[in-house]
Amino acid sequence: MTKSIMASTVRKAVCVNLVLFSIGSFAQDKTKVLDSIFTSLYNKKKFNGNVLIAEKGKPVFEKSYGIADEATQRKLDPKTTFELASVSKQFTAMGIVLLHKQGKLNYDDKISKYIPELSFYDKITVRNLLNHTSGLPDYMELFEKNWDKSKFAVNDDIVKEFAKYKPALEFEPSQKYEYSNTGYALLGSIIERVSKQSFGDFLKANIFKPLGMDHTLVYRSRYKPQTIANYALGYEEDNSGKKVLLDSYGKEFYTYYLDGVVGDGMVNSTVEDLLKWDRALYTNKLVNDDDKKLIFNDVTTGDGKQSGYGFGWKVKNSPKYGKIANHSGGWSGYVTYIERHMDNDKTFILLQNNMTRKTVVPIDEIRKVLYNEKLDVEKPLKAVTPTDTQLNSYTGVYSAPNFPMKLKVFVQDHVLYIQAIAEGQEPVKLTAYENHIFTNEEDEIKMTFNPELKTIDFNQGKSLKLKFTKDKE
């Protein structure tokens, strides 16, 4: 099935999967429980990165799992620097807030005041860019279609390409929420034009240096390479399952030629520096309470829905955990996450440098540990060796409502396989367990057959749950 029935892309939010296992009595120390979670994930090749979990600003768990550089086998440590991907957006938003406090811009200014080349977008404001309500289309798709990929693109190129092609808005500004990398890239441009500094220099002078974030910087490793000690290289998995640097895909791959763009990404940091950032947000060192009301609250859009996004942070009020602000990131082999429980002063930061089909971010488990909740337990499966007659009872073609592909189930060399009936889809080998259960651990597939009803309960990861029914023969 090209290794997965559900296609994914690094440009979209990283899927969060649930990890279930037995840990015995929950009376164990939180540190031991957390280490059990991450050690299990690491051993299953589902986590390679750094973890920092804090309560009231004090780390209760901090540990590194895995490798920073596959070629040298250099290990990660708590001071390793990672690219933050979209977790960078909170720093871009803070840059705009600081310029507002300096009296250099207003949130309700039209973006054309600072980017006159885009004056035809005459209803979009700075605030629309901040809370993803602009309606702007994705710049990455525009560049994939039109850009000369032998050249690096930078922020001014986004402005020029939008001015040249004038792509239509996807909706009227303020009418809807739709996550937009374009909006934050334009915010990066506004910071540079208003401050008359580079994006990196402005953030360093106004955020990183004042907060003592000495290992945090804006870094474009391909566009402007430099030597950074203790840096984590980002890896993806190729079709053979081997971990590779994305540069192996060539200079025309989008993570290469878009490496010059800032604002929607390109801040690099460590877990310890991000804890300093978290602590500062509980103080008035950078901003006051009125500013924080904007940063950490969402808006009601024209369609009557809540956006769930403030200024650079996803926000929600949880009946169980109180006010939560968080953000994920996924780009160029990096998977990043930060979550702040603002009513209870709990924080967790996860920085990974492997983006594979197995990579997970165990948010639910961390929350449960922090609040002394019982973790879910999955009973171990008992392996069996069915006869060919038993295996043949499962074979056939199966369909699921509202799912575009059918599944073919067949036996080959005394083993059960499934294959999505579509061009380019490869067979997936299944392992048999009692009670008509078959799995493929690599692709996180679990299938429970009901031969009498001729159905399959199909699960892949946490996100895909389907019921397939056998077609009439």
Q: Please tell me which residue in 36, 64, 86, 189 is annotated as part of the active site.
A: 86
The three-state DSSP-derived secondary structure of the chain is: CCCCCCCCCCCCCCCCCCCCCCCCCCCCCHHHHHHHHHHHHHHCCCCCEEEEEEECCEEEEEEEECEEECCCCEECCCCCEEECHHHHHHHHHHHHHHHHHCCCCCCCCEHHHCCHHHCCCCCCEHHHHHCCCCCCCCHHHHHHHHCCCCCCCEHHHHHHHHHHHCCCCCCCCCCCCCCCHHHHHHHHHHHHHHHCCCHHHHHHHHHHCCCCCCCCEECCCCCCCCCCCCECCCEEECCCCCEEEHHHHCCCCHHHHCCECCCCCCEEECHHHHHHHHHHCCCCCCCCHHHHHHHCCCCECCCCCECCECCCCEEEEECCCEEEEEEEEEECCEEEEEEEECCCCEEEEEEECEECCCCCCCHHHHHHHHCCCCCCCCCCCCECCCCHHHHHCCCEEEECCCCCCCEEEEEECCEEEEEECCCCCCCEECEEECCCEEEECCCCEEEEEECCCCEEEEEECCCEEEEEEECCC
Residues 460 and 17: beta-carbon distance below 8 Å: no
Dist. CA 8–CA 87, nearest whole Å: 19
Dist. CA 307–CA 166, nearest whole Å: 26
Would residue 86 show up in a list of annotated catalytic residues for this protein?
A: yes
Q: CA torsion angle for 137, 316, 97, 109 (degrees, to 10)?
A: 50
347 DSSP β-pair partners: 54, 340
Point out the residues that are catalytic.
86
